[in-house]
Every structure is written in C-alpha cells, then in structure tokens.
Chains A and B, each alone.
Chain A
Amino acid sequence: MTSGLTHLQRLEAESIHILREVVAEAEKPVMLYSVGKDSAVMLHLAKKAFYPAPPPFPLLHVDTTWKFRAMYDLRDKAAREAGMELLIHHNPEAMARGINPFDHGGLHTDMWKTEGLKQALDKFGFDAAFGGARRDEEKSRAKERIFSFRTANHHWDPKNQRPELWNLYNARKARGESIRVFPISNWTELDIWQYILAEKIEIVPLYFAAKRPTVIRDGLTLMVDDERFRLNPGEVPVERSIRFRTLGCYPLTGAVESEADTLEAVIQEMLLTTTSERQGRAIDHDQAASMEKKKQEGYF
C-alpha cells in the first residue's frame, strides 16, 4: 500500500478544485441546495474551498412547498451558519394552480422542480449552477460530465458533450448558455456517509430513526408531516420507528422502518441492506430511461 492520500482526501481535493474553478471562471455561479445529505456535503466542501472567505455565491432552493418541515429548519440554519445568501424560488404558476403531489402526480415534479429550476436560473441570470448529483446514483448519470453544458433553453444533449480531460474544465459558453457543475460526481453513497461521519457534518434528523406518524400506501411508508396530508377514509396515522434514505417532497418519499438512530448505525444499515438508494423515490419507477429523459428536459 502507498503512504499517499486516502480516497476521501483525493475526492475532497478534486471537489474543492472543481468549486474553485467555477468561481474563477463563471460570471454568476449559484449552488443548488436541496437540504439532503449530498447537498450538505457539497456545502461543507464549499466552506472548505473558500475559507476564510464565505463561499462567494448564494444558495438556491427550488422549493415545492411540500418538503419535510425539518428540511426547512436545517436549510435556513445551514445558510446562516455558512454566511451565505439563501434564495428561495417557488414556481408562481404551480403556486397559482395549486399543484400538489396528491392530485397531480408527475406534473408536481415537472412544474415545481424542473420548470421552477429553469425559471429561477433565468430570473437571477446564473450562468453556472452547482448540483449534488453523483455518477453512482443512476446509469445515465454515469456518463454525464462534471461540467455539463446547457443550451439557452436548458437542454442537455448527451450526444454532444465536451470531452473532459485531466482536471482541465472548459467553462466557456455563449451568453444565455449555462453550465451545471457536479463537484461530487465521483463520490459514492458510502463515501458521502463516511465523510459526514469524519467531518461531523450536520444533516436533517430525518435520516435517523425516530417514532414518526406514518401511513402505508402502494408499498411506500409515508410520513404524515403536516395537516395537508390527505388521509383516506378510515386511514389513521400509526407511530412507527422510521428513517429516510433520501429526502424529497414528504408525500412522495418512502421511509424505511429502522431503529438506527446514530450515524454509525445508519451506515451499518445501509451496508447491510439489499436494495439500492433511489428505490425510495417514486419518480424513477416510470420507465427505464426516465432519468435521462428528465435530464434532457432540464431536471437535474
């Protein structure tokens, strides 16, 4: 074995290098912040990259109004502690039409997230947006570049990606065009957890098991997070010890029954489990190439 850097040290150095390249080359960068554990790691890396300055860009939360309450709490706290401006965007059309996960299914994600993101980037004129996607999450992401180019219409063309060599990133673009940048592309889920443990990064308590009010629908264990949750006739929330492996809109995010209430226990459970991470998200079940299609349309 060599006495060199560990895999986490190499990943950290690469991510910091990427964050700094964007700040040096883009005109108006922003960090998309979804409050999940990957976002938490990305934000932590940004703090490290620019210390002692605060990260020189704002955080942007493209909100659906349907996130878990605990996520809103941590979001505001994390931005404050990092000394960063927090921008929150709500798609006004989705707001006006009352788009929600109970009545509108796929349209909910499309309007609040996909359309909302495009609106927000256009509104503020950001030319580079950091996202917390990882290549190990899903097959079409395995092929995406770290600097991923978008047309003025936010379109991604998987057949026409710029070659990416060494650690030389081409951030040049015409006016109106933008880039999505994925600083933690090469991290795996286990890397993320190990880093959270090693660096003592605060994450949303929902990742840890606790007694929470739940109902079970279509095989998903859903948490009744607020009074907007529409219970079916005869449906009564039941207290179960649950935690979440990924976080999204609470009526769409399935929990797992668990007793793991420490980071070590969560990692242990993750390593012992036999299903992959994204299984708890309803949006990926549509069809084989669903993520690729969503990305071409502008979803992260």
Chain B
Amino acid sequence: MNDSSYRPDALIASDISAYLAQHQNKSLLRFITCGSVDDGKSTLIGRLLYDSKQIFEDQLAALESDSARVGTQGANIDFALLVDGLAAEREQGITIDVAYRFFATEKRKFIVADTPGHEQYTRNMVTGASTADLAVILIDARKGVLTQTRRHSYLAYLIGIRHIVLAVNKMDLVGYDQSRFEQIVEDYREFANGIGIETFTAIPISGLAGDNIATPSTHMDWYAGPTLIDHLETVEVDTDAAKARPFRMAVQWVNRPNLDFRGFAGLIAGGTVKPGDPVRILPSGKTTTVARIVTLDGDLDEAVAGQSVTLTLADEVDCSRGDVIAAADSPPQVADQFQATIVWMDEEELLPGRAYWLKLGTRTVSATVQQPRHAICVNTMAELSVKTLGLNDIGVAEVYTDRGIVFEPYAESHDLGGFILIDKISNATVAAGMLNFSLRRAQNVHWQAAEINREAHARQKSQSPRLLWFTGFSGSGKSTIANLVEKRLHALGKHSFLLDGDNVRHGLNKDLGFTDADRIENIRRVGEVARLMTDAGLIVLTAFISPFRAEREMVRQMMPEGEFFEIFIDTPLEEAERRDVKGLYKKARAGEIANFTGITSPYEAPLNPEIRIDTTRTSPEAAAELIVEQIMGVWSPVL
C-alpha cells in the first residue's frame, strides 16, 4: 500500500527553482462533487487526494489503522475516512456539512467542495456550488439516472455551473460494461437537455479501483476519452468571461489614511480598469475618471476581474461602502423590486412581509419577500403552489428592498446578482437568492422633490416628529396610557394622533385576521401610516399588541434615526388576564378566540425598549407623566 503514498515529482529533486517557477503559474479550479454516500463520493475524493499524491506516510498509516477499526471496506483502505471530518460524522458514517479539500497536479490547483448526501442536502449543495466552476455528478453504474441525479444536476444548473461532468462510478461492479455506460449517458442526456444543460462530459470510472481517475483504465479499452484528472486539468474556466464584461467594482471600504488620499477598495466583479477610464458611481450616477490603481508594490497600469484593488478617482465625488464603481458608458441597473429565486436555509420558515437584511455585493439593506409565486420541486422541477418556503425549499418570489440597489441579473453576474437574507433578530443566514430581473426600474421613478418636506411640516408645528410605539399584552393598559400621554401632549400644544385597534382594525385593516401573517401585515400597514403621519410633522402614538420583535424592528427601520420610541407596557400575563377588561381572556381560554396572544399565540417582549412601564408598580397617570418627561427630555430644541 505504501508505494501509493506521496511520491514527489522528479523535478523537485533535480531543479527546485524550475519546479517552483512552473508551479507559480498554475491556474485554480474550484469544483463540487455531487452524490450520496452510496454513490462513492467520499471514496472518489479520497482517491483523488491519494492518486495526486497528497497523502503523507503518517496520514496513510492513520488511515490504514482507521480503516481496520471503523472502515467499511474490509481489509482495503476506506478512502471515505480521509474526508469525513467531524467526530460525530465519523461515528455515524455520514458527512453532514460542507468540507473543502485541496490537491494539486502538475497543471492546476484544485479546491473541492464536498457536500453531504442526506439531510439538508439542498442547503449544503447550494452553498458548496456557489463558489464552484464545475460540478462532478456521480452516478452508481448499477442504478443509473435516479431522482437524486436529477436533483443534483438541477441544483448545479440553478446556481449557474455550466461545466458538468457525469462520473459513472462503480464500473467495476457492472463488469466494465460499455453498453451499460452508454445507456446511462443517453438517459442523462435526455433529462439534461430538458432542463437547459447543453453539454456535459461523461467518464466511466471506479473510485474504489482507481479506473480512469488519474490513469486510463485497463479494463475499458472501449473508452477513448480523458481520465477525470485529465479533464479537470484542461477544462476552460469562466474567469475570462468575467473579464470580457463591462467594468464593475463594489466599494468595500474607503481608504482615508490622511487628507491627501482617498482610495476605494474592492474586488473587481467584472471587466478591466485602467487609469483614465471614465466611470460612474452608482446609485448616485455621478461620473468621474479613474486616477490611479494603488498597490503596495506600486501603481498598476491595469487591473482585471477577480483582483482586489484600491482605486483613486480624479474628482471629489461622493462614494462609500455599498456603492458600485462601473464603466461610465454601460452601468448596471438600480432597482428596488425584483423577481428572485430563493433557496431557504433556515429551520424557521420564510414569513412573507417580514423585513430581513439583504446583503448583495457590499450593500446591506432591509428587504421583504412576498408570498412565493411558486416553489420548485427539486426532484421533478414541477412548480408547486405554496404560501411560504421552509428549510431546503426553493421558490420564486418578489423581493422589495427599502431603497434602490445596484444589481445585475444573476445569469450575468454572480457578484451583483447573488444575495443572502439575514434574520434581523437571530442574525442567522436564512436564505440565498438570485435576482432574475427587476420589476420596475427605481432609476425611472423620480420622487417629487416636494418643496414642502417633512422638515417644513414639523417646523410649522414647532415640534419634532416622533413615533411612540406602545406594545404589550391585550389588557396591559396600552390604550389607557397612550390616551393619557396624548392628552398631556395636547395640553402642551403639540400636534399628535393616536392609532389603535379601534380606528385601524375597523377600516384600513378590516381585511386582516389574527394569523401570524396577518398580524405582520397589520403592523406593516400601521408602521407605514405612522411614518406618513410623521412626515406630516405629527407625533404619532400607536397602541397595538404587536407581539413579534421582528415587526417592531421593521417599523423602527422605517423611521429616521432617533424618532422611534418603543414603549413596553409590562403587565404580566396573569395580571392582564386577572383584569380582563374586555372579557377576551375568558373567551380565549374557552376556545372561542383563536390565535390569542399569550394564550395560543406567542408574545416576544422587547429586549431593549426605550421605555419600560411596570404597571404593577406604576399608575397609568404616573406612567403617562413619566413617558412625556422622557420624550421631552430627549426631544431636540425645536420642541
């Protein structure tokens, strides 16, 4: 066995400088292997490492002892053990996450994303595939094209991989039969063409026996094509395609070491750039020219897609993180409504209408996803009618951002078309998405630059607009206290308005019930109305249970900094239920009211409210006094 372990190139010993010069200029190929444990995926990767001499003697010795102890290949080496990393996985004999492997041959360096075969497959495969140039799709020669083959191929295609290798594995177990191989290739071609995969390369292999991995198989004379490694070494990658596109660079960081230097750092997403090139800053649309491409090793004459650079510009134009510097004559679009394909990655399902953070390029904005138009069954590619997306679901939905963002369709640019969604409370990455197209161009929507703006409205009323957001259980005292606060403000000559269930639920929101989705929409509408009222210069008070943190946070984000006050009327559930002013708790307990907060629906208390009122200790009058005092205290002098 040991004769297969690390055996270095002869050139290393004879002329190390020549060897290093040769290896300095290798290219890089990132690929993903798709298949389940049963297809021999880990074995294939182990074999690639083994055959490209990446396994050292001590690792081989450990592998041999592990193989004997927990291996599944009897007396033979179990290559899968080389790549199954985490302890839990080794015990269970399955891989459960994305792992990255590295090997190199004479011509290329390779990074392999190894994704698991079982649970969470969609999530992990999409993650691994997002950085891959090529996908190796494994098929068990005994089983042929299966549902999972279709799923892997569809996901690879969806994420934009255009180089597909069909590795028909375990040829040793079908007697290296040519007709079996050809039948599988034919079956696959029929399916692949149907989903848009135009070309693929099929190779008959045996990961376990090593046929057609690094060396041509001696058992399959009928196959004249390349070995797997031959193919991986020579396939053209798409980096040149990105270079041929118009110039785009998302600004990551503004480099300002002193008053004389202002540089814009970023990774070039497309095209090339030279000093003197005219560029446009988006979304502002200002134009200027590139002055210098600055690096530690001196200025560059040119930089290309894939390089991280620092540019200086000829004019003092506004440009900061999240902006995109683009070729002046062919800038990307700016929009705030899109159709997108979304892969949901979190245990907690998508809540249509809830605000999430959307990160695209270097820009993070607040965004909502509408109810999906349809989900896609990854096994049959059928379009399914759904109300939401759960873990590992893929769907097509409209996405609205709270401001225009610079983008390109994902098919044209992964860097400016791919995005992630982040939950605002847990900070988890809950979804990945690909922008297909914009629904309308924000750049064509010119907001009336109203001369009577919100400042003018507020000035006329001699006050600063505020939104006082009361939250708490039903019967906690929100409306009572809010009413007292409004009376107090009125007495002080302030212009205010109170929004509560009585004046909103019967009109504006009478179409909404009490499901989670309707509650979110209820709060969204109240938030929008409240914001318009603050634009009119009013001090707005709202009294709604508003049970979910995320929605309260969404409203906070709608408002200018410092104008939103979350006021938590903290009455324990038992106390609210004891008071039961409207008799609602009694009905809820009797099952006459569904989705009642505190009884059959959750309430998420504020974590850091601006004001918290403990009603078991503070009377409504004292509470109102305290709130007015606090609000007055932080009010700007104009009040």
Residues of B close to A170: CB separation below 8 A? 359, 420, 422, 427, 429
**Does B377 interact with chain A (Cβ within 8 Å)?**
no
B219 to A: closest C-beta gap in Å: 30
B294 and A52 contact, CB distance less than 8 A: yes
A283 to B: closest C-beta gap in Å: 15
Bound CA span A163–B127, Å: 6
A2 and B239 contact, CB distance less than 8 A: yes
Residues of B close to A8: CB separation below 8 A? 24
Within 8 A of B (CB), among A1-41: 1-14, 16-17, 20-21, 23-24
Cβ 8 A contact of B127, one of A14, A49, A50, A164: A164
Bound CA span A12–B28, Å: 12
Bound CA span A188–B103, Å: 9
A201 to B: closest C-beta gap in Å: 12
Bound CA span A174–B261, Å: 34
Residues of A close to B107: CB separation below 8 A? 1
The answer to whether residues A166 and B97 also contact, given A13-B308, A272-B8 and a CB cut-off of 8 A, is no
B252 and A17 contact, CB distance less than 8 A: yes
A52 and B5 contact, CB distance less than 8 A: no
Bound CA span A197–B19, Å: 13
**Does B27 interact with chain A (Cβ within 8 Å)?**
yes
A204 to B: closest C-beta gap in Å: 21
A50 and B255 contact, CB distance less than 8 A: yes
Residues of A close to B97: CB separation below 8 A? 143, 158, 161
Most buried by B among A12, A159, A288: A288
A158 and B24 contact, CB distance less than 8 A: no
Bound CA span A164–B115, Å: 13
Bound CA span A142–B115, Å: 12
B88 and A159 contact, CB distance less than 8 A: yes
Chain A contact residue count (CB 8 A cutoff): 71
Interface stretch of the complex, out of A60-68, A133-141, A213-221: A133-141
Interface stretch of the complex, out of B53-61, B174-182, B455-463: B53-61
Closest Cβ neighbor of A142 among chain B residues: B99
Cβ 8 A contact of B109, one of A16, A159, A161, A191: A191
The answer to whether residues A276 and B261 also contact, given A13-B307, A166-B131, A268-B13 and a CB cut-off of 8 A, is no
Bound CA span A14–B362, Å: 14
Bound CA span A239–B74, Å: 48
Residues of A close to B259: CB separation below 8 A? none
Bound CA span A17–B131, Å: 15
A268 and B12 contact, CB distance less than 8 A: yes
The answer to whether residues A13 and B101 also contact, given A53-B255, A198-B24, A271-B12 and a CB cut-off of 8 A, is no
A143 to B: closest C-beta gap in Å: 5
Within 8 A of A (CB), among B250-288: 252-253, 255-257, 261, 263, 265-267
Within 8 A of B (CB), among A149-203: 158-159, 161-168, 170, 172-174, 185-186, 188, 190-191, 194, 197-198
Interface stretch of the complex, out of B411-419, B496-504, B577-585: B411-419
The answer to whether residues A135 and B130 also contact, given A2-B237, A140-B86 and a CB cut-off of 8 A, is no
Residues of A close to B508: CB separation below 8 A? none
**Does B104 interact with chain A (Cβ within 8 Å)?**
yes
0 or 1 for each of B1-22: is its CB under 8 Å from A? (1 = yes): 0000110110011001101100
Cβ 8 A contact of A12, one of B6, B308, B310: B308
**Does B345 interact with chain A (Cβ within 8 Å)?**
yes
Bound CA span A273–B56, Å: 8
B258 to A: closest C-beta gap in Å: 9
A24 and B253 contact, CB distance less than 8 A: yes
B308 and A49 contact, CB distance less than 8 A: yes
Residues of B close to A10: CB separation below 8 A? 28, 306
Most buried by B among A1, A165, A268, A292: A165
**Does B555 interact with chain A (Cβ within 8 Å)?**
no
Bound CA span A197–B20, Å: 9
Bound CA span A12–B243, Å: 18
Cβ 8 A contact of A288, one of B87, B257, B306: B87
**Does A265 interact with chain B (Cβ within 8 Å)?**
yes
Q: How many A-B residue pairs have CB under 8 A?
A: 206
A194 and B98 contact, CB distance less than 8 A: no
B131 and A53 contact, CB distance less than 8 A: no
**Does A107 interact with chain B (Cβ within 8 Å)?**
no
0 or 1 for each of B21-40: is its CB under 8 Å from A? (1 = yes): 00111111000000000000
Residues of B close to A267: CB separation below 8 A? 16, 20
Residues of B close to A186: CB separation below 8 A? 100, 102, 111
A27 to B: closest C-beta gap in Å: 14
Residues of B close to A268: CB separation below 8 A? 12-13, 16
**Does A289 interact with chain B (Cβ within 8 Å)?**
yes
A23 and B253 contact, CB distance less than 8 A: yes
**Does B205 interact with chain A (Cβ within 8 Å)?**
no
Bound CA span A271–B15, Å: 12
Chain B contact residue count (CB 8 A cutoff): 86
Bound CA span A73–B234, Å: 46
Bound CA span A265–B414, Å: 42
B16 and A20 contact, CB distance less than 8 A: no
A165 and B130 contact, CB distance less than 8 A: yes
B429 and A163 contact, CB distance less than 8 A: yes
Most buried by A among B5, B23, B83, B236: B23
Closest Cβ neighbor of B424 among chain A residues: A172
0 or 1 for each of B116-127: is its CB under 8 Å from A? (1 = yes): 000000011011
Cβ 8 A contact of A4, one of B66, B126, B239: B239
B3 to A: closest C-beta gap in Å: 12
**Does B432 interact with chain A (Cβ within 8 Å)?**
yes
B87 and A289 contact, CB distance less than 8 A: yes
The answer to whether residues A3 and B429 also contact, given A13-B306, A13-B308, A142-B100 and a CB cut-off of 8 A, is no
Cβ 8 A contact of B419, one of A5, A51, A168, A198: A168
Residues of B close to A14: CB separation below 8 A? 308
Residues of A close to B422: CB separation below 8 A? 170, 172
The answer to whether residues A4 and B252 also contact, given A52-B257, A163-B432 and a CB cut-off of 8 A, is no
Bound CA span A274–B59, Å: 10
Within 8 A of B (CB), among A253-300: 264-265, 267-268, 271-276, 279, 288-289, 292-293
**Does A108 interact with chain B (Cβ within 8 Å)?**
no
Closest Cβ neighbor of B159 among chain A residues: A165
Closest Cβ neighbor of A278 among chain B residues: B58
B357 and A172 contact, CB distance less than 8 A: yes
Closest Cβ neighbor of A138 among chain B residues: B85
B414 to A: closest C-beta gap in Å: 6
**Does A118 interact with chain B (Cβ within 8 Å)?**
no
Residues of B close to A272: CB separation below 8 A? 8, 12-13
Closest Cβ neighbor of A186 among chain B residues: B111
B10 to A: closest C-beta gap in Å: 11
Residues of A close to B419: CB separation below 8 A? 168
Cβ 8 A contact of B25, one of A6, A163, A289: A6
A21 and B308 contact, CB distance less than 8 A: no
B265 and A143 contact, CB distance less than 8 A: no
Can you pick out 19 interface pairs between chain A and chain B where the beta carbons lie within 8 Å of each other?
A2-B27, A7-B28, A7-B108, A10-B306, A23-B253, A52-B257, A139-B85, A140-B86, A142-B99, A143-B97, A163-B345, A165-B429, A168-B418, A170-B420, A172-B422, A186-B100, A186-B102, A267-B16, A292-B86
B interface residues (Cβ-Cβ under 8 A, vs A): 5-6, 8-9, 12-13, 16-17, 19-20, 23-28, 56-59, 66, 83-88, 90, 96-102, 104, 107-109, 111, 123-124, 126-127, 130-131, 234, 236-237, 239-240, 243, 252-253, 255-257, 261, 263, 265-267, 294-296, 304, 306-308, 310, 321, 345, 357, 359-360, 362, 414-415, 418-420, 422, 427-429, 432
Q: Which 10 A-B pairs have the closest CB atoms?
A: A53-B257, A289-B87, A7-B28, A16-B308, A4-B239, A139-B85, A268-B16, A276-B56, A172-B427, A165-B130
